[in-house]
Amino acid sequence: MPLSAYDLTDRTAFVTGAAGGIGRASAVLLAEAGAVVHCADRDEGGLRETRELIVKAGGTAYIHPLDVTDRARLRAAVRGAGRVDILAAIAGIMHFSAVLDTEDADLDRILAVNFKGVLYACQEAARIMIENGTPGSIITMASGAVDSAGAGLLCYSASKAAVVQLTRTLATELGPHSIRVNAVAPGWVRTPMTERHEADQQQRIESTMVRLSPLGRVGAPEDIAHTVLHLASDASSFTTGQILRPNGGVAMPW
């Protein structure tokens, strides 16, 4: 496959969760590959920083401050892009609670962001791709947590398992329209989201990952962004309905 397969010139990408972490790294990398990138997140300051990084690198970016749980605003933003060739639905949150301590509010919020927000973005992007009659790539963000039962991760794991099933179902339904749908299931990645945990909890998780990974380290946002780029590009033109696992060689061994 020639390197030109990764050229995204004349394509438009819409990235949620683009204010930091994996979302920012993916938005920047897609722009470096030539795509015009629309960046969405509820953190407007972070979005402006992402746009500045893209513009400084010679790319083009637009920002959409919004919460992905607001279906109407998200739909308007995706529709406002005019054309969407690539969707990277990356926005997500993490929550730790034991099963017996889980409240309705915990479950409702994480499902709203991690599942419904992904569903809403996928629906609108797919509609635009079908209307324009153009092939497209939809990338969702799952997690290595779907491969194991992690204590305290019921809400998070359930939401990401739902994303996996959404991805597989959409791949089946959208394949006839030449729209590919794949998920990325990262291992532990050091991002602003994971750094919000208690220091001792974060250190415990990271030390476990370093010990069990053949590579001897945890992930960086850029590691995952390159997987997103691969799925967005023609280099993965025969890949759909798949769950790619950039996890340093291990699943989430809680």
Distance CA 181, CA 57 (A): 28
Whole-structure pTM value: 0.92
With left for phi above 0 and alpha for psi between -120 and 50, is residue 178 left, alpha or beta? left
Q: What is the pLDDT of residues 130-173, one digit of tens each?
A: 999 999 999 999 998 888 877 888 999 999 999 999 999 999 99
Q: Taking the domain 8-191+221-241, which CATH number applies?
A: 3.40.50.720
Phi first, then psi, for residue 184 (nearest 5°) are: -110, 130
Q: Return the closest-CA partner of residue 39 out of 221, 28, 232.
A: 28
Question: Residue for token digits 């590959």?
Answer: 33
Q: What is the pLDDT of residues 6-62, one digit of tens each?
A: 999 999 999 999 999 999 999 999 999 999 999 999 999 999 999 999 999 999 999
- Look at residue 218 in the predicted model and tell me its pLDDT: 77
- Look at residue 253 in the predicted model and tell me its pLDDT: 47
- Look at residue 250 in the predicted model and tell me its pLDDT: 79
Residues in a beta bridge with 189: 219
∠241-245-247 over CA atoms, to 5°?
170
Distance CA 178, CA 232 (A): 13
pLDDT band at 254 (very low <50, low <70, confident <90, very high): very low
- Give Cα separations from 102 to 107, 159, 201 (angstroms): 7, 14, 19
Q: Averaged over 111-126, what is the pLDDT? A: 98
Residues in a beta bridge with 34: none
Distance CA 150, CA 252 (A): 8
Q: Averaged over 239-246, what is the pLDDT? A: 97
Kindly name the residue from 6, 62, 120, 156 that is annotated as catalytic: 156
- Look at residue 155 in the predicted model and tell me its pLDDT: 93
Delimit the domains of the chain by residue range. 8-191+221-241
- Look at residue 85 in the predicted model and tell me its pLDDT: 98
Q: What is the pLDDT of residues 66-111, one digit of tens each?
A: 999 999 999 999 999 999 999 999 999 988 889 999 999 999 999 9
156 is catalytic: yes
